[in-house]
Amino acid sequence: MSLYSAGVEYGIHCLIFLVGNRGDTREASVRDLAELQGVPLDYLAKIFTRLAKAKLVVATEGVRGGFKLARPADEISILDIVNAIDGQKLIFDCREIRGRCALFEGSAPDWALSGPCSVHAVMMTAQNRMEEALAQQTILDLARKVGRKAPAEFNALVDNWISDRREKKSSAQATGEHFIPVTDIGS
């Protein structure tokens, strides 16, 4: 079982797509991001509500509205995103069993309970190191890694894909038609 929800993965991937070519932000609707990523729209909408509440994204107005990053991409850490989506999670919950040894016959001696629990201390060290690692990586860092891995034209393809969808939506609304994305037909 994983510590973080699938929502963390969905949210991080979607925010990577909101980072533009030079680290600037691009706008996209939750519907477009859900379709682009192949993730459930309703679930992604809840994730973006949490990201907006944490002030990591802001809604944009109008027909072409959607979301964009609320701060520069190099100021949004992966830990910020994780905490916004899943809340702060502890990897360990100490049950203080160190005082329950059968040899203690009902009452644990002082030496057994003095100081912090050694197991708890090790787990908290692990938690701190994990959070430090997540805090050191930004959404810009991840977007750049994806950019180095992807073909040079990939970012332009994403821009064009989002732009084409916005154009279709805008022209459909201007003529009074209903814009139905291809993937929504028959569902």
| pLDDT tens, position by position, 120-141 | 999 999 999 999 999 999 999 9
Number of Cβ atoms within 10 Å of the Cβ of 181: 14
Closest residue by Cα to residue 65 from 180, 179, 170, 174: 170
What residues have CB less than 8 Å from 179, skipping those under 6 apart?
Answer: 168, 169, 172, 173
Yes or no: say if 46 and 83 are a contact pair by the CB < 8 Å rule. Answer: no
Q: Which residues of 120-133 are buried (b: 16+ CB within 10 A; e: fewer)?
A: eeebbeebeeebee
Angle at 149 between CA 147 and CA 152, to 5 degrees: 60
Instruction: Report pLDDT for 135.
Output: 97
Instruction: Report pLDDT for 14.
Output: 95
Give domain limits for the chain.
6-90+138-184
CATH topology of domain 6-90+138-184: Arc Repressor Mutant, subunit A (1.10.10)
pLDDT tens, position by position, 31-55 = 999 999 999 999 999 999 999 999 9
The pLDDT of 140-158, averaged and rounded, is 89
Is the pLDDT at 182 greater than 60? The verdict is: no
pLDDT tens, position by position, 66-98 = 899 999 999 999 999 999 999 998 889 888 888
Token pair, residue 25, equals 């932000």
Higher pLDDT, 26 or 132: 132
